[in-house]
Chain A
Amino acid sequence: MKKYLKSVIALTAICAVVALLMAATNYLTAPIIEQNESAAANEALLVVMPEGEDFELMDLSGYELPATVTEVYAESTGGYVVKLTTAGYSTGLVIMCGVDAAGTVTGATCLASSETLGAEKTYGEKTVGKTAADIDTVDTVASMTKTTGAYRNAVKDALNAAVILGGGSVDLRSEEEILKDNLSAALPAAEGAFTPWFMVEELEGVSAVYVADNGSGTVFVKGEDFVVDPALAQKVAESKVEALDLSGYELPTAITKAEKTASGNYVFEVKGSGFGINGDKYYAPSGEPIMIRVSVTPAGKIIACETISQQETDGIGSACAEPAFYTQFNGKDESNYKDIDAISGATLTTNGYKTAVGKALEAVKILEGAA
């Protein structure tokens, strides 16, 4: 027993003495280590803010910042260095961005990434000198749109964060959220659930229509306004499309479905050949067409256009599925439907799309007996 006790006491005593010694050393070295580490961190901060002086890590609780912001250092002259984590092709794209007191990007650098093509290594240089107003004018790098797009958005988030931290306010909602909020504000009874209605009728000044899922009404987008218009809603509710009897007509083969409304408008589903079909033989083509829905008046004016499905290159041609692209056709006719902004880096997709819309206009002519 005595032997065991002696062992326990000896080991405990040694542990205690060693712990004390370590504590003393830690007491001596911890402040120096901390100082060294903050000096090293400052060095990284100076890369993105060469004119910066003293940096201090901020406590971000109490601020509502963009989700990508992970750390912010306040600089003594009023600037901020923002550390952001976002995702390009893969997650873990870590960016450090300096924003001076005037809200201008002083520098941006990538701290860590697992992107495949390395665009993030130098892309930050392009954002230097930009402000929240013109950051969107920085071009993404073709074929590396995902990486550089995410990078640019992160820099934008840094600029927004600087505004918020400086006491300003920034609308951090995404376009979808803004749309949803506007719709709900126009028609609270719908409880936020809407389905877009594909416009097959000409509605004066209306650019989009959203029908409440619970049947409480319909919201019309007129320019910047979201309005509830019972007269127009009636028109929407009464609108009906019926399959067209195509016997006797020889429509372009791209037309896969043709319908007509009671008011005489045509609705077509058209197959467009995008990059995968026209495409470059060295690039894996999907071989899938772009499916487009177009409504056209008997006079040949496009009422609305939308993309039903597409398999274009993700991040490039896939932009043809964005309303920003296809709503460009709304209101156009044979004379000017080709005058739309092409998708950057995706000429084949854009051309295929235009051709498909053209086929719909051609079909109207045939059906109206004009051709």
Chain B
Amino acid sequence: MKKNSNISVLFKGLLLENPVFVLVLGTCPTLATTQTVIGAFAMGIAAMVVLICSNVVISLLRKVIPDTVRIPCYIVIIAGFVTIVQMFMHAYLPELYELLGVYLALITVNCIILGRAEMFASKNSVAKSALDGVGMGLGFTLALLAMATLREVFGSGSFAGMEIPFLKDHTVDILTQAPGGLLVYGLLIFAVTAITQGRAPKKTSFGCEGCPSAGNCSACAEKEEN
């Protein structure tokens, strides 16, 4: 698969560059909304919608947005989309809106979205950015679903609210709490790392261009001078 081909852009988010298990971004909503499968799914889809929209818009505007104010611009765009998604959910999916609570608004500061805006959308075409949004969004959703499934099935003895006969009497309560969430998170990172066996990009390979603070960083400036 050619690097950066449309298909690879779409699929890399699922496993090789999975935002949750490989890039380790968006940890807070990951831990907070994966107690139930339904909550995780709703969070994943909401984040995916915002991610796709913001990626497309940021990619469209990448030549217009001046470099010095790019982060505020990205944040305004992302926050705008989050608010719009929030309002639609409040109107049409009030139960999910209640379920996600403050984490819905916190998508604004989800590192995955700002990260993709900075690392991908601002440098690539609209189509590729949209695909990246879909891929990363799916990766995020699947990661949340994987975690939520483990936590809900074994922690609450149910799946998407439906009780599972044997397990409902033998729950591992810690899984529904924050420590259990971290435990499952760690195990899944281990599993993904074992599967990808180092094919996932190493942290260093992102280099300075991947860092939102690159422009103001003295270490980067030194590097450039050398």
Which A positions have Cβ atoms within 8 angstroms of B?
3, 6-7, 10-11, 14-15, 18-19, 21-22, 25-26, 28-30, 32-33, 36, 40
Q: How many A-B residue pairs have CB under 8 A?
A: 54
Tell me, yes or no, whether B194 is within 8 Å of chain A by CB: no
Q: A10-B73, A21-B80, A25-B84 are in contact. Are A3 and B90 (CB under 8 A)?
A: no
Cα-based distance from A14 to B74 in the complex (angstroms): 9
Closest 7 A/B residue pairs (Cβ): A18-B80, A29-B91, A32-B91, A7-B69, A29-B87, A7-B66, A25-B84
- Residues on A with C-beta less than 8 A from B84 are 21-22, 25
Q: Are A33 and B73 in contact (CB under 8 A)?
A: no
Selected contact of A33 from candidates B61, B64, B69, B90, CB within 8 Å: B90
Contact A26 B87 (CB under 8 A): yes
Q: Majority SS of interface residues in chain A?
A: helix
Query: Within 8 Å CB of A14, what residues of B?
Result: 61, 65, 73, 76-77
Distance in angstroms between the alpha carbons of A35 and B66 in the assembled complex: 43
- How distant is the Cα of A32 from the Cα of B88 in the complex, in angstroms? 9
Q: Tell me the complex Cα distance, A30–B87, Å.
A: 8
With A3-B66, A3-B68, A25-B87 as given contacts, are A11 and B73 in contact (CB-CB < 8 Å)? Answer: yes
Q: How far is the CA of A173 from the CA of B188 in the complex (A)?
A: 67
A15 adjacent to B76 (CB under 8 Å): yes
B108 to chain A, nearest CB (A): 12
A36, B66: Cβ atoms under 8 Å?
A: no
On whether A6 and B80 interact (CB within 8 A), knowing A11-B72, A29-B87, the answer reads: no
The listed residue (B69, B79, B91, B94) touching A10 by CB distance below 8 A is B69
Chain B residues, CB < 8 A from A36:
90-91, 94
Tell me, in angstroms, the Cα distance from A3 to B68 when the chains sit together: 9
Q: Provide the residues of chain A in CB contact with B206, threshold 8 Å.
A: none
Tell me whether B94 and A18 are in contact (CB under 8 A). no
Residue of A nearest to B61 (CB): A14
Known A-B contacts A7-B68, A10-B64, A11-B73; the reply to A29 vs B90 at CB < 8 A is yes
Known pairs A3-B68, A11-B76; list 4 more (Cβ under 8 Å). Answer: A11-B72, A14-B77, A18-B79, A36-B91
- Closest CB in chain A relative to B116 CB, distance in Å: 18
Smallest Cβ-Cβ distance to B98: which chain A residue: A40
Chain B: interface secondary structure? helix
Give chain B nearest CB distance to A26 CB in angstroms: 6
CA distance A144 to B68 in the complex (A): 65
Q: How long is the Cα–Cα vector from A10 to B67 in the complex, in angstroms?
A: 11
18 contacts between A and B (CB under 8 A): A6-B66, A7-B66, A10-B66, A11-B69, A11-B76, A14-B61, A14-B73, A14-B76, A22-B80, A22-B87, A26-B87, A28-B91, A32-B91, A33-B90, A33-B91, A33-B94, A36-B94, A40-B94
Separation of A364 and B94 alpha carbons in the complex (Å):
77
User: How far, in Å, is A326 (CB) from chain B's closest CB?
Assistant: 54
Question: Is B166 at the interface (CB under 8 A from chain A)?
Answer: no
B87 cross-chain contacts in A, Cβ below 8 A = 22, 25-26, 29-30, 33
| A18-B64 Cα distance, complex, nearest whole Å | 16
Most A CB within 10 A of own CB, among B61, B77, B90, B91: B91
Q: B83 contacts the other chain (Cβ, under 8 Å)?
A: yes
> In the complex, what's the smallest C-beta–C-beta distance from B79 to chain A, in angstroms?
8
- The distance from the CB of B56 to the nearest CB of chain A, in whole angstroms, is 14
Q: Do A18 and B69 touch (CB < 8 A)? A: no
Q: Which residues of B contact A30 (CB under 8 A)?
A: 87
Of chain B, the residue at the smallest CB distance from A35 is B91
Q: Judging by beta carbons under 8 Å apart, are B76 and A18 in contact?
A: yes
Chain B residues 52 to 97 lying within 8 A of chain A, measured CB to CB, are 61, 64-66, 68-69, 72-73, 76-77, 79-80, 83-84, 87-88, 90-92, 94
Measured between alpha carbons, how far is A3 from B72 in the docked complex, in Å? Answer: 16
Chain B's closest residue to A18 (CB) is B80
